[in-house]
Amino acid sequence: DAGVTQSPTHLIKTRGQQVTLRCSPKSGHDTVSWYQQALGQGPQFIFQYYEEEERQRGNFPDRFSGHQFPNYSSELNVNALLLGDSALYLCASSAPGLSTDTQYFGPGTRLTVL
Amino acid sequence: GEDVEQSLFLSVREGDSSVINCTYTDSSSTYLYWYKQEPGAGLQLLTYIFSNMDMKQDQRLTVLLNKKDKHLSLRIADTQTGDSAIYFCAESINDYKLSFGAGTTVTVRA
């Protein structure tokens, strides 16, 4: 049973560039959430996708956008990168139909903005 | 409001019990979670507790929930070197997002 997978593992970009991160949910899950984890901090919720729609959004600017595909995989796009966007980006999947709606995390994508 | 607080560091001797504490603010949280993060890795779900429970045991892990005081703790029995990691407490907000604490770094010394 494949868990949550993310690509790429690491990424280096320069300020002003755009980046796309990818996530495939755990088998049987239909909901994908994205989190940003800055160094030394806990993860911060960016947004959640369900049925190809953004269901809820955290306190992040519009430079952060996403998409969910019919196969439930998801992308996170960040435009006009800032140095402060350097972080570990975590994807989590869940299945709302289950009683706990527990979120399972992937290994993350480490983004460095120079 | 949403604010989860944890102590930042814990040092424990191998074989002893570790207790990690957490306080949260959203009384409507349905579930509370403990995740473990090893260096350079993602978050591994350790355990969770439903808000109408006050204790849950899972092998070496015991979770205690005091809903009145909004206090959650994780006890790890017989702590091993492999338990060295950062432990995050998280509360479920509106069943959509998780709100995390800053994490407690647990160091296990021989």
Residue in B41, B50, B97 nearest the CB of A56: B97
Name beta bridge partners: A104: A93
**Tens-place pLDDT, residues A62-106:** 999 999 999 999 999 999 999 999 999 999 999 866 656 789 999
Average pLDDT, chain A: 94
Helix (H, G, I), strand (E, B) or coil at A80: coil
Judged by a CB distance cut-off of 8 A, whether residue A3 touches chain B is no
Using an 8 Å Cβ cutoff, are A4 and A24 in contact?
A: yes
Using an 8 Å Cβ cutoff, are A70 and A86 in contact?
A: no
**Tens-place pLDDT, residues A52-66:** 999 999 999 999 999
Rounded to whole angstroms, how far apart are CA atoms B85 and A79? 33
Residue in A6, A33, A40 nearest the CB of B97: A33
Rounded to whole angstroms, how far apart are CA atoms A60 and B80? 39
Contact assignment for A45 to B102 by CB distance below 8 Å: no
Using an 8 Å Cβ cutoff, are A51 and A32 in contact?
A: no
